[in-house]
Amino acid sequence: MRLLILGRGKTGSLVAEAAAERKHQVRVAGAKENPACAALTPERLHDIDTVIDFTTPHAVVAHIEACVKAGKNMVVGTTGWYRDIDRIRGLVEQRGTGFIYAANFSVGVNLFFDVARAAAAALRHDYSGQIFERHHVHKKDAPSGTAIAIQQAIREASTRNEDLEITSFREGDVVGLHEVVLESPADRIYLCHDAKSRRGFAEGAVRAAEWLAGRKGFYDFKDVWREL
Ligand SMILES: NC(=O)c1ccc[n+]([C@@H]2O[C@H](COP(=O)([O-])OP(=O)(O)OC[C@H]3O[C@@H](n4cnc5c(N)ncnc54)[C@H](OP(=O)(O)O)[C@@H]3O)[C@@H](O)[C@H]2O)c1
């Protein structure tokens, strides 16, 4: 595939590496090459199959709008834009492009969502719960998109209307640590996912782009990762 990776940061640069290893043709644009979406005009994108975005919450919505308008498939790893999700879904469906997003493209974290869903049964049995997330000090959004996705998975799987509280910590160079703690008068259950590197996100995003090839529609990675 011919891929354009948006973002030369910590994750985007690894996505470019993972894509090259999987024999894709890769072009990369960072902030300097893409002022006001200059790298995302229909002309600039004409030889690109799919755009993968790992940039910033501030920039990503304009990137999505430009790519979808140019008729290009997109994989979006950037978090912090989900208040626009219904409008973006409508745009994608109207333009007939393919779009997949995830707060977390790691297969392990998506498995962890299922573990959290199963553990939500505890909330019907005198347990209370909390979510903790830790990330490096440069992370721009809090709580993390992954913590919000865990919260949503637990809410959907339990019959309770109220969300578990999320507590965020920003420290050092932590790649991403998420914990669910369920507590009853008798015991405590700890669930934890600890990312050792960004490699899992990068490979998952490239494999999502491969899965999306030839497809139209708006997809959440948590619903399709088993098909990779
Ligand atoms: N879904 C997942 O699996 C996953 C995993 C990890 C991270 N993330 C998310 O991905 C995003 C990036 O994370 P990161 O840790 O890689 O951040 P980062 O190291 O700060 O990288 C962000 C990059 O975006 C570039 N950028 C900013 N505006 C741009 C624009 N308009 N066009 C092109 N590039 C632009 C920046 O370029 P300059 O350096 O030139 O400013 C920077 O290199 C965050 O939202 C994070 O939460 C998601």
Per-position b or e across 63-88, b if 16+ CB within 10 A of its CB: bbbbbbebebbbbbbbbbbbeeeeeb
Distance 12 CA to ligand 1 centre (A): 6
CB contact set of 135 (below 8 Å; sequence gap of 6+): 142, 144, 168, 169, 170, 174, 175, 176, 177
Residue 2 has pLDDT above 90, yes or no: yes
CA 178, CA 147: separation in Å to the nearest integer?
7
Per-position b or e across 192-224, b if 16+ CB within 10 A of its CB: ebebeebebbbbbbbbbbebbeeeeebbebbeb
CA 177, CA 175: separation in Å to the nearest integer?
7
pLDDT digits (tens, 9 = 90+) for 134-145: 999 999 899 999
Q: Which amino acid is it at 186?
A: A
Q: By alpha-carbon position, which residue is closest to atom 48 of ligand 1?
A: 77
pLDDT digits (tens, 9 = 90+) for 176-186: 999 999 999 99
Q: By alpha-carbon position, which residue is closest to atom 2 of ligand 1?
A: 104
Q: How far apart are the first and last CA of the chain?
A: 16
Kindly state if the Cβ of 78 falls inside 6 Å of ligand 1.
yes
List 52's β-bridge partners, or say none. Answer: 5, 75
Distance 114 CA to ligand 1 centre (A): 27
Is 158:133 a contact under the CB 8 Å cutoff?
no
Kindly state if the Cβ of 201 falls inside 6 Å of ligand 1.
yes
Percent of the chain with pLDDT over 70: 100
State pTM to two decimals: 0.91
pLDDT at 180 (0 to 100): 98
What average pLDDT is seen over the chain? 96
- Quick one: pLDDT band at residue 163, thresholds 50, 70, 90? very high
CA 219, CA 202: separation in Å to the nearest integer?
18
- Quick one: pLDDT band at residue 96, thresholds 50, 70, 90? very high
Of 33, 56, 174, which is best to mutate to test ligand 1, by the most ligand atoms within 8 angstroms of its C-beta?
56
Section 154-165 average pLDDT:
91
pLDDT at 205 (0 to 100): 98
Residue 166 has pLDDT above 90, yes or no: yes
Of 45, 54, 136, 150, which is best to mutate to test ligand 1, by the most ligand atoms within 8 angstroms of its C-beta?
54
